[in-house]
Amino acid sequence: MEKFEHEYNADQIQVLDGLEHVRKRPGMYIGSVSIRGLHHLVYEIVDNSVDEALAGYCSHIKIEIEPGNIICVEDDGRGIPVDIHAKTKISAAETVYTQLNAGGKFGGDSGYKVSGGLHGVGASVVNALSTWAEVTIQRDGGLFQMKFERGKTVQPLTRIGDSDKTGTKVRFLADDTIFETLEYDYETLENRFREMAFLTKGLSISVEDKRSEEVKKAEFCFDGGLNSFVEYLNKNKEKISQQPIYIEKEDGEVPVEIAFQYTTAYSENIYSFVNNINTIEGGTHLEGFKRALTKTFNDYAKAHNILKEKDGNLQGEDIREGITAVISVKVKEPQFEGQTKTKLGNSNVAGIVQSLVNEALSNFLEENPSVAKAILEKCVSASRAREAARKARELVRRKNALESTTLPGKLADCSSKIPEECEVYIVEGDSAGGSAKQGRDRKFQAILPLWGKMLNVEKSRADKIYNNDKLQPVILAVGAGIGSDFDITKIRYGKVIIMADADVDGAHIRTLLLTFFFRYMRPLVENGNVFLAQPPLYKLSKRGMKDIYCYTDDELTENLNNIGKDGINIQRYKGLGEMNPEQLWETTMNPETRILVQVTLEDAMKADEIFTILMGDEIGPRREFIEANAKYVKNLDI
């Protein structure tokens, strides 16, 4: 019988306790151990408090970031039950925080008609991934407390006093042996809790950052619910109708709340939620809403002779141009696709939402004919632009077919045809493009020089983009189409790298390209395929010493303090064109030594707001943004 170097028998089979498994495989429960996963811990605890509010027992939630990145979440809900659990023989509160399969949201008699979070197991996951946690509960006339370290109980639930109030307070310190960073981003948390307050009408949520002398604080409470949400999202846009269209139905098996409003913008922004969970991939509730929009507007347009019989129907994308919408449904037994719960699968929800929107929107259009006409004029205009874009797209294809190539003339392609190993540098200017072509590794690096003024797509429709001689080469090089035609599986390069000068003009070009990618190739950003090259700001040279490149002012100071200033020549690079091919390769293009910044989409709502402010028509919000952020400028180019 063959003998193996490492025996494999029953002794090698590990049986992990629930919380040990969480610590061993945290990504399975919170997505990642990056800052995103760190923030997820806070959301899980706050979600439990929000679920109390949804059940009608909580009116205020207070979140604090204490010095040392300690999180404190306090609510005025019922308080976690403190009596002894029949099965575990310890208090229900301790059970919830130490047993992965324990929660108050599985049965139908807990008072939770609906819930978000990890279906009631979020508390134990947070506890497992914390260096320590402390839970204080007020209920049943008493004040109770329990303490934990890395998921293990160090102080069982103990009555420490009396109280005539109710509620739960949780303090915890995330485990620095698990997370890459413990540094919370206040703005990210603030945005999330504002969103939660919009979604839970009348709930007050406050967030406070006490980590520095300059305390940051915000408090949110919106009696207008999703109406207030849409007004907030559209605050920097020109509106077609002054008030959002609001639809709400609380009774029935699936409570629905929807608000939407049309703007003069060309992009659509629809956000959908189930039990306050952001379903970023949509699902049946979103499908029902879209179908209702398309049918109701087409029916109205035909009935009122806005569309003639010969015109045919408007397409869904025509009707959704410029819309900002928020859809929120509460589902008792939600079926989510995938571990991350980003797409709703309950088939009955589509019909419920469609029927409700059909009826409410039909009534609104009949009662507001001037608004209906203005919206439909925009939809018809979008339809014509879509047809013009189709013709422009076909013209581009025919032209390229006649020229026997589908690639732009200025593109210096790479020899590899495997997208995962290929990258394209979109380079500002012919001069820098020439250096990049000479300095690159031809096997996997392609170079596409851009020149002249680029189109601001925030103010343009797709037909203008297809006809634009600056953007057309980018579309052809990436090879996956744009807008609703974009197909991420067809991209020709795994990395699309923007390489521009480190000055105001370079920043403008980066912003224009990022606006284009966000509005017309968003999956490219969501998939992590877009990068920013980081050319050096300075070169330090001295006789007998190898040149040193500095990418920030701090790096410059640091190097001057090692090596001293005597005999040092400091060159400040204003543009890529000042570097020869070897320098460009060594500093900015060599995978062994270069610095790339990956562009990610952490918050689609915030990104939409920023692009609207920076690139939209409204001047006031842009001036306010510049004034508010002027103090953060590091490299001022005058």
Q: Average pLDDT for residues 384-406, to the nearest whole number? A: 71
The set of residues, in sequence order, having a beta carbon less than 8 Å from that of 132 and lying 6+ positions away, is 147, 148, 149, 150, 172, 173
> Active site includes 501?
yes
User: Where is average pLDDT lowest: 53-62, 310-319, 562-571?
Assistant: 562-571
Closest CA to 321 of 386, 259, 372: 386
The owner of tokens 């995978």 is 591
Q: Choose the catalytic residue: 20, 66, 299, 503.
A: 503
Amino acid type, 200: T
3-state secondary structure 456-522: CHHHCCHHHHHCCCCCHHHHHHHCCCCHHHCCHHHCCCCEEEEECCCCHHHHHHHHHHHHHHHHHCH
| Amino acid at the residue 357 | V
Strands 245-249 and 204-209: unpaired
Please state which CATH number belongs to domain 226-386. Answer: 3.30.230.10
What residue has token string 């279906």? Answer: 119
Active site (annotated) includes residue 238: no
Residues of the chain with CATH 3.30.565.10: 18-220
**Whether the Cβ atoms of residue 240 and residue 264 lie closer than 8 Å to each other:** yes
Instruction: Give 281-328 pLDDT, tens digit per residue.
Output: 899 999 999 999 999 999 999 999 998 878 889 999 999 999 999 999
**What superfamily in CATH does domain 18-220 come from?**
Histidine kinase-like ATPase, C-terminal domain (3.30.565.10)
Q: How confident is the model at residue 125 (pLDDT cuts 50, 70, 90)?
A: very high
Answer whether residue 120 shows pLDDT above 60: no
In the three-class reduction of DSSP (H, G, I as helix; E, B as strand; rest coil), residue 598 is classed as strand
**266 — alpha (psi -120 to 50), left (phi > 0) or beta?**
alpha
**Residues with Cβ < 8 Å from 209, sequence gap 6 or more?**
64, 65, 184, 186, 215, 216, 217
- pLDDT of 94 above 50: yes
Q: Does the annotation count 44 as an active-site position?
A: no
Asked if residues 448 and 513 have their Cβ atoms less than 8 Å apart, the reply is no
Query: Which residues on adjacent β-strands are paired with residue 336?
Result: 344
Strand partners, 570: 540
On whether the CB atoms of residues 371 and 240 are closer than 8 A, the answer is yes
Name the 3-class secondary structure at 462. helix
- Asked if residue 481 has pLDDT above 60, the reply is yes
What band does 55 get if pLDDT is binned at 50, 70 and 90? confident
Every domain range in the chain assigned CATH 3.30.230.10: 226-386
SS3 192: helix
Give me the residues paired with residue 598 across strands: 531
CB 358 within 8 A of CB 295: yes
Residues 561 and 526: beta-carbon distance below 8 Å: no
Question: Using one digit for the tens of pLDDT, what is the confidence trace for 426-465?
Answer: 998 878 889 999 999 999 999 999 877 788 898 888 888 8
- Residue type at position 603: D
Give the side-chain half-sphere CA count within 13 A for 226.
23
State the Cα–Cα distance between residues 571 and 368, nearest whole angstrom: 65
Instruction: Quickly tell me which residue has 């923030």 as its tokens.
Output: 39
Side-chain half-sphere exposure of 73, counting CA atoms within 13 A: 21
Contact 360, 352 (CB under 8 A): no
Q: Which of 268, 281, 359, 505 is catalytic?
A: 505
Distance in angstroms (rounded) separating the CA atoms of residues 169 and 73: 6
In angstroms, rounded to a whole number, what is the distance separating the alpha carbons of residues 174 and 208?
A: 18
**In the chain, helix, strand, coil percent, each to 5?**
40, 20, 40
Find the catalytic residue in 231, 501, 586, 608.
501
Spell out the residues 6+ positions from residue 24 whose beta carbon is closer than 8 angstroms to its own. Answer: 16
- Express each pLDDT in 3-20 by its tens digit: 445 443 444 334 446 688
- Tally of residues, the chain: 638
Catalytic residue (choose from 51, 195, 428, 586): 428
Q: Where are the alpha helices (DSSP H) in 76-171?
A: 92-98, 122-128
pLDDT at site 271: 96
With helix as H, strand as E and coil as C, how does 383-422 read?
HHHHHHHHHHHHHHHHHHHHCCCCCCCCCECCCCCCHHHC
CATH fold of 405-535+597-604: Rossmann fold (3.40.50)
Terminal Cα distance for the chain, rounded: 80
428 belongs to the catalytic site: yes
pLDDT of residue 104: 59
Distance (Å, whole) CA 460 – CA 458: 6
